[in-house]
Structure 1
Amino acid sequence: MMMIGTIRINVIVASLAGLFTFALSIGNNLLLSTCLKSTYSFLILFVLTFGFRWVLGVMIGAEHSAGGASYANHTTESSVGQSLDLTTPDEDEETRELMKANLGSNNSLLSNEAQFSPLNPPKLVTKNNLDPEQLAGALRRMSED
């Protein structure tokens, strides 16, 4: 049987609950009634904190015992995937040759499949010599609609 923390935790939690109850109750009750309610609040939270600490101790104790067993089983297995190597390998001559060979084969495939041709969009043509009467007529038709 294991408990987390000390009795000081119980006293702190129960005192805070008692003070909170006293502060909220003093405006509506007599002093004796307020003190009695605060004492009840203190005692109830003091006991409940023991229960809460005991449950946490049992849960953590079970977690430690299960964790210890899984750790013992884990050490017997291989250590594959347990470490991370963040270093990049040195580029040796073989790696460079492989990269050149791959790039060369990709370029030849692309050149056989399709040749590059730039996009030739049609040119925009502006009309410089427009009849002013036609422009005025178009403007009148647009304003009527």
Structure 2
Amino acid sequence: MAGNMKWNLVTGLIGFAGTLALSMPQNILKTAFIQSLYSFIFLFLITFLARWLLGLIAQSAHTPESAAEAVSRELEREEEVRGTRIDLATPEDDSPVLPQAETDTGFTPLNPPKLSTDFGEHRTEDAVKALRQMTDK
């Protein structure tokens, strides 16, 4: 973090005093004091957050690392570790697939009869009779 906790306290106390001075003429002492306390807490936390962010920025500025440096460092680590680990992953099978001899298993695919939409004369007459009976009442 940039700086120390004095910055948080100073900022909070300035906010406390300013809020107390500005709210005393319009409010009673208790209300002015509570508002000043809220101002102190808010400014203390905002200053803390700002210092923390500045610390992160300063820390990242001190250690610039390019992508090439990161890759070369990772490769060096891999070379140091090579031969000390066991890889239990199974590699891909690169061998050619051999054709299997076809054996007669007795399986024949199902061949269902095809459905047709032709109802024929008999079914059409039955449908007409049923329609007439429903409409006659």
If the TM-score is normalised by the length of the shorter chain, which range does it land in?
A: 0.3 to 0.5
- Specify which structure has the higher proportion of helix: 1
TM-score after normalising by structure 2: 0.46
TM-score after normalising by structure 1: 0.44
